[in-house]
């Protein structure tokens, strides 16, 4: 399962936080994290993985605290936010006037942020992390990755067999849940940007499966 972190002060004010330290959930985001934790509470998770940034750790902690057994959140840099370089900390309304903005919207596979990372590299590292975690949790594993919107969108593109340039067609809201099932035959996207549905059926589906590689995915947008 891919969970985007709850709303932050940067989200609320339209700032591209990126890897900025000390960006925390605001009051709305804290409530969102508690809600998603309760939604996932009926599921006996095999692991909780999070980006190392504060906002994802805070969301992951809420998910962990709602579980019946004690789970330690594992941090993985590979599901961390895209490195936006010189764009980090700037207002989105100002970035929208940058020439590169149009390429980000239309052809993200061609984008490398000034003094930052390419969006293609972001996708490659995140997808590699997901496949490694699938192997780690095993064929009956059910785990959560708490990440960021752009990262989650890139993972979903890969799972859907879509080119990264279709990236902006996908919406991933704060505290939303997206679910990908990985098997020997490939991947199936079961949910995208899910904000309210009953997730307990995922536990029933897992008990019925005998040969799937994982239900996995992880998390966020900025």
DSSP-based helix, strand, coil % in the chain, nearest 5: 45, 20, 35
With CA atoms as reference, report the closest residue to 108 among 124, 92, 94, 86.
124
Please, what is the end-to-end C-alpha distance for the chain in angstroms?
A: 18
Residue, of 207 and 218, whose pLDDT is higher: 207
The CATH architecture one would assign to domain 2-216 is 3-Layer(aba) Sandwich (3.40)
Tokens of 62: 């809420």
Residue 36: pLDDT above 60? yes
Instruction: Say if residue 119's pLDDT is above 60.
Output: yes
**Residue 60 neighbours by CB under 8 Å, 6+ apart:** 48, 49, 50, 73, 144, 146
Span 58-97, pLDDT tens digits: 999 999 999 999 999 999 999 999 999 999 999 999 999 9
Q: What is the pLDDT of residue 208?
A: 53
**Summary mean pLDDT of the chain:** 92
Domain range list for the chain: 2-216
207 pLDDT above the threshold of 70: no
């Amino acid at each position: 399962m891919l969970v985007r972190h709850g709303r932050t002060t940067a989200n609320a004010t339209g700032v591209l936080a990126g890897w900025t330290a000390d960006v925390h959930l605001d009051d709305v985001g804290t409530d969102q994290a508690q809600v998603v934790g309760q939604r996932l509470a009926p599921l006996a998770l095999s692991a909780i993985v999070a980006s190392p940034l504060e906002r994802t750790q805070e969301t992951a902690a809420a998910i962990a605290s709602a579980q019946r057994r004690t789970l330690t959140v594992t941090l993985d840099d590979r599901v961390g936010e895209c490195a936006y370089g010189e764009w980090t900390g700037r207002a989105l309304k100002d970035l929208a006037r940058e020439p590169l903005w149009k390429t980000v919207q239309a052809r993200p596979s061609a984008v490398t942020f000034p003094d930052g990372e390419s969006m293609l590299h972001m996708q490659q590292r995140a997808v590699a992390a997901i496949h490694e975690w699938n192997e780690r949790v095993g064929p009956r594993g059910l785990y959560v990755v708490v990440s960021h919107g752009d990262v989650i969108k890139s993972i979903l593109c890969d799972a859907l067999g879509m080119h990264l340039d279709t990236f902006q067609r996908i919406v991933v809201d704060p505290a939303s849940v997206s679910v990908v099932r990985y098997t020997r035959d490939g991947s199936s996207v079961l949910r995208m940007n899910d904000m309210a549905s009953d997730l307990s059926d995922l536990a029933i589906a897992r008990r019925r499966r005998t040969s799937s590689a994982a239900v996995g995915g992880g998390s966020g947008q900025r």
